[in-house]
Amino acid sequence: MDPTIVRARIQEIGIIPAIRTASADDARFAAETLRSAGIPIVEITMTIPGALGVIEHLARAADDLIVGAGTVLETDIVRRCLDAGAHFITSPGFDPDVVRATVGHAVSMPGALTPTEVTRALRDGADFIKVFPVTPLGGPAYFRALAGPFPHVRFVPAGGIDHHSVAAFIVAGAAAIGVGKELVPRRAIAERRIDWIAELARRFVALVDEARGRGTES
C-alpha cells in the first residue's frame, strides 16, 4: 500500500491499537476483532512471539486493514517487517537509522519526548511522531506544550491513554492516538470476548469523532 494512502488512512481513522499479546493466535484474534468493530488498523509489536508471521497474515488477509509493526528497534527488523507487508513502522524512541531504513518504503513513526527529538526525527523524514509515554509525563497538558511549537507535525500521543483522556489529546491537536490495553484488555483477548472489545472500540471511535467535531475548543 502506498505510504501516502497509509498516512491519510491513519489520520482518518485516528486510533492506532497497539497489540501486545502472549501468542500469535491472540494477536490475530485481537486484530480481526478490532477490524470488524470499525477500527481497521493495528500495530503488531515485535514482542509477540511470531510477530512477523502475524503481520504477513493480516496484511494478506484484508486489503482494507492497515498493519503496522511496533517496538521496532533495529534496521534489520525494519527490513523483515517490510518484507512481511508492514504498512508503518513505529518505535518507542528515536533511532535515526530505523527512521532512514523506513522512509520511502513505509510510514515512519518514531517515538520522541522532547523538542530536540522531534526536530531530529523530522529532519530524518519521519511521517508521524509518537509521543511516548505521554500520560506519566503530564498527559494532555504535556502534549499540548510539546506540540505547540510544531503546528504542522502529525503527532500520535501514546502510553496510558484511556476513554477519559482521549478527547483531550484530539482537541490538543493529535493526528491520531495510540491505545493499548485500555482498548484491547488482556482478559478480553484471553476469553475471546468479541463483544467486550467491540464495545470499547465503538466507544473510542465515538470519542474521537466527537472531539474532532469540537475543533480546537479547550
Q: Which active-site residues does the annotation give?
A: 43, 130
Q: Distance between CA 66 and CA 77 in Å, rounded?
A: 19
Place of cell 472500540: 201
Hey, what's the torsion of the CAs at 103, 12, 72, 171, to 10 degrees?
110
Helix (H) / strand (E) element for 129: namely strand 129-131
Residue 140 grid cell: 494532555
Residue 158's SS3 state is strand
143/170 Cα distance (integer angstroms)? 10
Q: Identify which of 67, 177, 163 has the alpha carbon closest to the alpha carbon of residue 133.
A: 177
H or E stretch at 155: strand 155-157
